[in-house]
Structure 1
Amino acid sequence: MPTNNQSNSPVPTLRPCKRYIATHSPTGQSIYAPSPAQVYNVANASFGGMARSYALASLPANLTHDVDLKAYTAESGPTSYRRSEIVIPSPPGGGGGGGGGGANLVVVDLKPGGVSAMHRTASVDFSVCVVGEVEHELDGGQKVRLLPGDHIVQRGTMHRWSNPSETEPARFVACTLPCIPFDIAGEELREVHLPSPTKRGSKL
C-alpha cells in the first residue's frame, strides 16, 4: 500500500486499536512489553488507513534476545511499526525461497463509503472482518460481503476493499505471508496497485 502520510486515527469514529506484545523478563517470567501506539499509513484519505501491528523479517521467527521486538519497535527498518508495505520485503542477500520475507499483521480501518484501489500482492493473506461490514471485490466483478468473524483467504488475487455503509466505519485485520511468484495467464505474479477510485461506485 503506497503511503502519502501517517495518522494515529484515520477514522475518528472507530475506537483506536490497542496492541499488546507478550515477551519474557530477564528471570523468564512472561510479561507485556512496552510498545508504541499504532501508526496508520494513509494512501487514500477517503478510504481510511492501514497500521502494522507486528512484523517478522523471516520465518521461522527468530525471537532470541527479543531481536524481532527490537526491530519492530525501531523507528526505521523493514519490520518497523511505521512502515507501510503489505508484504515484508526479502531480507538482504535473498532468502524467503524467492517469495519475500516474513509475516505482517495489519489493521485496516475504513471510513464510511471508503473504497481502496484495486491491487494484488505476491502473498497469501488471511483477512478477518472485526467491525462493521466489509466488501471484498475481485477484478472479475465477483463480490462478497464480510460480517464480523467472516474472513477471506486471498492467494495473490487482484481485489479491492470497500465499506458498504455510508454512515458506519469498518475494520478488518489481516496477516500477510509472502508467496513464491507463479504464472497467472502468462504473467508472473507481482505487486500491482491501480489508481484509486474517487468515491464508492466509481470505475477504474
Structure 2
Amino acid sequence: MASNTSQVSPLPAVTRHITGHNENGRAVIHSSTPAEWVSLGESQMAFNVVYTNQFAPDLSNDTDIKTHETLTQSDKLGLVNPGGTVCRIVDFAPNNPAVVHRTQSLDYGVVLEGQVEMILEDSEPVIMNRGDVAVQRATMHGWRNTSETEWARILFVLQDCKKLTVAGKEMKEDLGIAAGVLKPSGNSQE
C-alpha cells in the first residue's frame, strides 16, 4: 500500500474534527485535520483511518488520542483493531475489482457517495445506495462500485468480536486476494 497525504479520488475532501475539554471542563475542538489516504490496488481503492481505540476508551488526559496516534504510527494496524474499534472511510474507483474477504469483527458500513454492490458467498449481490447500511457479521464479502465513471465512498466502523464458530468451524480472518497486501489484524490467532 502506498501512503498518500492527498486524496486519491475526486470525491469531497474529508476533515476529522476531534472534540475535547478545556481547563474549565467546557467542550472545545481538540484538533481538525485533513484525511490521510492510503492507496490500494493501483488507486482502485483508497483508505482513510479516521480513528481507532480500545474497548472501553479512556478519554481522561487525551489517552484515547494518544492510543490512536501510537497505533496508526506503528504501522501494525490491520483491517480490525484487536480489542477495539476502527472508523475508516474507503473510496472505490469506478467498476473496481471486488476484494472478497472476511474480518473477525462486527462492522457497520454506510454508503456516503455513489452506489455499491455488496457481494456475499451464497446470496445474490445487494445494491446499496447513499444512506444504506450493511451490518457485516464476520462474513466473506466484497464491495464493488457499480458506476463506470463515478467514485463511491463507504464509511465503516469495525469492532473486534469474540471468535465466531459456525457448524463447528471457526470463521477466522481471510484477506483473500489482498493477503500479503493488507496487514493481518491479528485478532484470529490461535
TM-score between both structures, scaled by the size of structure 1? 0.79
3-state DSSP of counterpart to 1:167 = coil
Counterparts of 1:101-120 in structure 2 under 5 Å? 101-120=83-102
C-alpha displacement at 1:81, in angstroms? 9.6
Secondary structure of 2:62's counterpart equals helix
Tell me, in whole angstroms, the C-alpha distance in 2 between the residues paired with 1:80 and 1:22: 21
Is the aligned partner of 1:14 residue 2:11?
Answer: yes
| Aligned pairs for 1:175-194 within 5 A | 175-194=157-176
Deviation at residue 34 of structure 1 after TM alignment:
1.9
CA deviation after TM superposition for structure 1 residue 109, in Å: 0.6
Q: Percent identity?
A: 30
Residue in 2 that maps onto 1:78: 71
Confirm or deny that 1:34 pairs with 2:16.
Answer: no
Which residue identity lines up with residue 64 of structure 2 in the other structure? D
Q: Deviations over 1:91-115 (max 9, x none)?
A: xxxxxxxxxx111111011111113
Deviation at 1:37, TM superposition (A): 2.7
Bigger shift: 80-89 or 5-14?
80-89
Contact 1:41 1:84 in 2 (8 A): no
Name the CA distance, whole Å, in 2 between partners of 1:83 and 1:165. 33
Matched-pair contact (CA < 8 Å) for 1:112–1:170: yes
Which structure has more strand as a fraction of its residues? 2
Equivalent runs, 1:103-142 vs 2, <5 Å: 103-142=85-124
- Count the aligned residue pairs: 178
The 10-residue stretch of structure 1 (133-142 or 182-191) with the greater mean CA deviation from structure 2: 182-191
Partner Cα separation in structure 2 for residue 81 and residue 129 of structure 1? 29
Q: Does 1:68 align with 2:50?
A: no
AA partner of residue 195 (structure 1): I
Q: Deviations over 1:157-179 (max 9, x none)?
A: 00001100010011010111111
Structure 2's unaligned 5+ residue stretches are 179-190
| Inter-partner Cα distance in structure 2 for 1:165 and 1:80 | 34
Structure 1 contact 47–116 (Cα < 8 Å) conserved? no
TM-score by length of 2: 0.85
Distance 1:119 1:149, change over 3 A: same
Unmatched segments (≥5 aa) in structure 1 = 90-100, 197-204
